[in-house]
Amino acid sequence: MANIKKWEEGEKWVEIDLDICEGAAECENWCPVSVYVIEDGKAAAVNIEDCIGCAACQRVCPTQAIVRHWAWK
């Protein structure tokens, strides 16, 4: 079973599979509103309330660890 963590704020949410996240920081680097940080070698959507739904994070993740994003419910 995958280790999927969900961050949410109202209708905004993102799920990250921590088993495959390598902490490459592409989500952190490409997010235009700084939703992500790398904590303990894994991505964390600590500022999910700022998400604008652009999905840059999901597109740039090299391991496709960002498995669900609110824009594609």
What's the CA gap between 42 and 57, in Å, rounded?
Answer: 14
What's the CA gap between 41 and 52, in Å, rounded?
Answer: 24
Rounded to two decimals, the pTM is 0.88
Domains recognised in the chain with CATH numbers: 4-72 (3.30.70.20)
**Residue 70 confidence (pLDDT):** 66
Q: Which residue has the tokens 């799920």?
A: 15
For the chain, what is the total number of helices (H) and then of strands (E)?
2, 5
Mean pLDDT of successive 10-residue stretches along the chain, which has 73 residues: 89 93 98 97 96 92 87 51
